[in-house]
C-alpha cells in the first residue's frame, strides 16, 4: 500500500489486477484500485476535482481530469475517512498511476494534495 500526506490529508492506495476482465492477447489489462482519504487536519475539507497521470510500460501517458471521484465530492470533517474503489485499463501488463486531488476548505481556500505513485502490475511481472 502506498501512502502520502499533504496539507493534513492522508491518501492511501492499494491496487489489484482483474484477471477476469483482462484480455492479454488483445493487450487489455484491467486493474482496480482502492483509495482511502483521511482528514488528519483540524479543518473541514472537500474533494473538488481529480487529476490522474496514467503511464504504461510502452511509454504511453494518459491524463484524466474530472470533478470529484466516482460521482462524489466528499466532505471530510477532522478525523473522518472516505474510501472508494475505481479502475483503469492499460495496454501493457505493467504501469503506474499518480496524481492530485483539488481540495477546498470551508473558508474557500483551495489546495492540491498528492496521490502517491503506485504500480499496476499483473502478478509475477515484477520481481
Residue 102: pLDDT above 90? yes
Per-residue pLDDT, averaged over 74-89, amounts to: 97
> Domain spans of the chain?
2-121
Per-residue pLDDT, averaged over 102-119, amounts to: 96
The CATH superfamily of 2-121 is ApaG domain (2.60.40.1470)
Residue 126: pLDDT above 90? no
* 94 vs 123: CA distance, rounded Å: 10
Burial label, 39 (beta-carbon count in 10 A; 0-12, 13-18, 19+): buried
Quote the cell numbers at residue 35.
483509495
Query: Measuring CA to CA, which residue among 103, 107, 84 is closest to residue 13?
Result: 84
Residue whose C-alpha cell reads 481556500 in the numeric block = 109
Assign 94 a pLDDT band (cuts: 50, 70, 90).
very high
Per-residue pLDDT tens digits for 3-13 = 999 999 999 99
Per-residue pLDDT tens digits for 32-56 = 999 999 999 999 999 999 999 999 9
Q: What is the helix (H) or strand (E) element at residue 63, kind and residue range?
A: strand 61-67
pTM, two decimals, is: 0.92
Residue 127: pLDDT above 80? no
C-alpha count within 13 angstroms, C-beta hemisphere, residue 46? 12
Give the burial string for 74-86 (b: 16+ CB within 10 Å, else e). Answer: bebeeeeeeebee
Residue 30, phi then psi, degrees to nearest 5: -110, 135
Amino acid at each position: 500500500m502506498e501512502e502520502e500526506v499533504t496539507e493534513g490529508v492522508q491518501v492511501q492506495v492499494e491496487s489489484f489486477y482483474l484477471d477476469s476482465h483482462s484480455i492479454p492477447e488483445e493487450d487489455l489489462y484491467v486493474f482496480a484500485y482502492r483509495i482511502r482519504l483521511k482528514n488528519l487536519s483540524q479543518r473541514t475539507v472537500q474533494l473538488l476535482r481529480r487529476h490522474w497521470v496514467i503511464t504504461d510500460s510502452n511509454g504511453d501517458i494518459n491524463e484524466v481530469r474530472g470533478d470529484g471521484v466516482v460521482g462524489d465530492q466528499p466532505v471530510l470533517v477532522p478525523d473522518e475517512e472516505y474510501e472508494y474503489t475505481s479502475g483503469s485499463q492499460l495496454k501493457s501488463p505493467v504501469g503506474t498511476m499518480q496524481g492530485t486531488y483539488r481540495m477546498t476548505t470551508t473558508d474557500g481556500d483551495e489546495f492540491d494534495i498528492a496521490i502517491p505513485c503506485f504500480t499496476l502490475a499483473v502478478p509475477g511481472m515484477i520481481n
